[in-house]
Chains A and B, each alone.
Chain A
Amino acid sequence: DQQVKQNSPSLSVQEGRISILNCDYTNSMFDYFLWYKKYPAEGPTFLISISSIKDKNEDGRFTVFLNKSAKHLSLHIVPSQPGDSAVYFCAANKSYQKVTFGTGTKLQVIP
């Protein structure tokens, strides 16, 4: 039962353009959502999060949008840089409970 889904296994974007990574979830009890970035041979690194009481959170080039009615969130990276090339994991949890990860989207930013 995949409660957090990232339906695009990979994405290629030109440097300087916007990268949009999408994530859907099925558990309406989730109230906290996170994005992690993972480079090869490294553990995931926390990128940005959003609480279910908000619909947008911005941190520099990274913005996360949450649409609770659609059970959908997205991560926007603008402008995209070659160093952003990595696997991005969407994750979600209900307060004080386990974090559930999606399967990841591999982003390639082409110089």
Chain B
Amino acid sequence: ETGVTQSPTHLIKTRGQQVTLRCSSQSGHNTVSWYQQALGQGPQFIFQYYREEENGRGNFPPRFSGLQFPNYSSELNVNALELDDSALYLCASSLGPSTEAFFGQGTRLTVV
């Protein structure tokens, strides 16, 4: 049984560019949540996908969008990158929307 894996692990982008981050959920998990963790802060909820449908969204602008595929893997897309988007992006999968989540190692995004 594989855990949650995220790719890439590190990424540097220029302001204004677009980025796609990927997440493979743990086997058997149908729910994926994405979080942004800025330096010195706790993870902030971006959105959750349950069985390919968005199932809740945090206070992030529409340029943060996502997708969940039939195999329950997921993507996070961020358009028009801003310097403040620099953070660790965490993906977490779970058996359902309200069960314990298992986190990947994160993608460290730096916007310059």
Contacts and interface: CB of A to CB of B under 8 A. Distances in A.
Interface of A: 4, 6, 32, 34, 36, 41-46, 49, 89, 91, 93, 95-104
Contacts of A41: 105
B100 interface: yes
Interface residues of B, number: 24
Given A41-B105, A43-B105, A46-B101, A102 B42 contact: yes
Interface of B: 4, 6, 33, 35, 40-45, 48, 56, 58, 90, 92, 97-98, 100-106
The DSSP consensus for interface residues of chain B is loop
Contacts of B104: 43
Contacts of A95: 98
Contacts of B105: 41-43
Contacts of A98: 33, 45, 48, 56, 58
